[in-house]
Structure 1
Amino acid sequence: MRKINTRNFRVATRTTTREVNRQIVLNLIRELQPISRAELARRMDVSRSLLTPLVRELVTRGSVVEGGTARAQRGRRPTLLRVRTNRNLAVAVDVRPGHTSVALADFGGQVIAREAFETPASPEALIDALAACVPALVAAHVGEEDADGEDGPTVRGVGLVVPGMVDRRTGRVIYAPRLGWRDVDLRDGLAERLGYKVRIENAPIACALARLWLSPDGLGGSQSFAYVSISEGVGVGLVVRGEVLRGETHTAGEFGHVSLDRSGPPCICGKRGCWEALAGNAATLARYEQRAAAAAREAVQPPLRRAPATTVEEVVRRAHDGERAALEALEETGTHIGRGLAALVSVFNPGRIFVGGEITAAWDLLDAPVRRALVEDTLTDAARATSVVPDRSPAEYRLLGAVALLAASTYAAPRVG
């Protein structure tokens, strides 16, 4: 049970029950679409007379559309309902140390257009770049009317995803070590320049939000799960009973900077042996180069000279080609990933763990060492059996997470206390 916060609450009103029921209907349609009124009533275990006005309100608001019919054994074929997402658009921004991606997408996650540019060194320069890119992107793809002469879609705001700790209340980036930024304002500065509402979130939480709000069918029925992002850095988005776990000061999920080995390699945060320093992309590249150099020294005949691997994707390709150094490097990375996941399972006990990042392209090679380390470092059979699912499109989920920052409020349950 969630304790009512007596310092921050809303009093329930007569309309609260109706509002909650309307959101239940909207979410059922979203997850089960296309669906008939009769099937909705059956799922909710309510009468058609209670359901009909709720559906009518959603259709009138434009949140739901009617279209198509279902088969019926007898009588009139029932009309099917779908959530209408193409009238609401979001500008999704994914900021990375190397490049920044900008996409225009509807609230269903359908991408309409995208751009990319090199990430500037300073947050002020990033705001300048986005202030030039976003209006041009919107102007090129959003008209005042659609092909049927109806009012065109509306941009509801900007979702901004960054690789660092974010205070969601103030919109400030507390610390983004990979960008070299500390305590900077992106949200308010960008909102002022663009004239749009701006929501900002760190990358792993954004990916978790994308799973929660835009891919509910992929959750396996679990409302408590984790999204682990393994890329330039390592971070975790935690969802408990359908709500993101943020912590007292909005910094929950920084498992990447939990030390797994105090005598391990130095981490960018200043500590040693952090999960990020052991399992992140830089760690995988470093251990591959070490093994490749060792293999060259031990070879009876000098091997063909190869350019150093500068990306994890290249290490993965070489591993799939059978190169021993790449295979060994990825196996060790898999072990470190599994050890970190075991700690996550012990502390959080999620129903499912999603793993995203470039490294997931090698999941056929990683799955065994990941699972082995997870089994060795957990205490119960249930913990050892925790489902671990690789995300095959991690870059897409960062952008979808940016969309979810705006779309979630459309589907979220109303707060009444």
Structure 2
Amino acid sequence: MDSLLRQLKSNLINIPGWKTNRKIVVFESDDWGMQRMASKASFNRLEKKGYRVSRLHFDRFDSLESNGDVGRLLELLSVYRDRSGAPAKFTMNMIMGNPDFDRIRTTGFEKYYHEPFYQTLKRFSDKDEVMDLYREGMQSGCFRMQFHGREHVHINRWLARLRATDRLYLDAFDEGMYALESGHLDAMAMYEKADIAIVKESIAAGMVLFEQTWGFKSASIIAPCYTWGDAVEKVWAAKGVEFIQGGRVQKRSIVGQEHPRTRRHYTGEKSSEGMRYMIRNVSFEPVTAPRQNWVNTALAEVATAFRWGKPAIISTHRLNYIGSLVPENSKKNLHLLGTLLGELIRLYPDMEFLSSDELGGMIASEKE
């Protein structure tokens, strides 16, 4: 029954919208640059305090990327080539900054400060080559950076929990982390009027930092936790965003409402601000269900996408490829990724690897 339901959903998401005869594969990978579990020592201390860190995927596996994490991914992608000889490509959706924990603490959690993620990298001895590896990946065509946010935390709600002396948040803060579990990570949500100015400033400053860091503007964007509202789209459009990456459902935040509503989009749909939506229709997230045959399920979803004339837009988060906390995690999932890439090339010798902004440009040019 679960298999039939999954097949039905896979077909339904691919029916409406832009179509192409080309076999296009786009890998979209979120959360690069984000500080998550600070270290194995932090993990052990938090576990001793009774937190369920060993049971939650992001707490157990995800951490700021290391030299080895990025180097191994780059090495693997460079092996697999499409019909034109281009290597497999990841759209690396970047979180451009992390909280400056020391400065925030000095304000009594009243004010928020951030630091660029490359400054965070400098705090760790095993991350000193990450920026060079990123630039190598961009030069070789394996990496294409796009914007995911300045930070991956809802500033107002996070600071409020800290001021309220919420032990969960304070213990995480003491380890140099946002939170445990998944608390208030929807950085671009606007729930109250007080959120509007802060979210707008975060997006604007984050996009400036993105351009300063990588040397070009991000044409596409993916909101943290797939949560954003109409006011945020206006900010994106004003900053030159052309394409909106998204999951199967948008969580639409509305000022004055406590919880977001859901809204569905389709690939090629034009927003009220003139941007194009691009919807992920394939999932490759082995960490979330280790007993699932992720290669087979991803290949089935790719086949469905191609059958309906859609690009295969594959969701695959950073935590699948991080090995600093659990080395076997990176080893196992890179092996699965290699198997998937090999099968895609074997089954579809005419396939093409594109980045999100390249796909968006193709959609926009054909729709005009």
Q: Structure 1 length normalisation: TM-score?
A: 0.28
Bigger share in strand: 1
Larger Rg: 1
Greater relative contact order structure (CA < 8 Å, 6+ sep): 2
State the TM-score, normalizing by the size of structure 2. 0.31
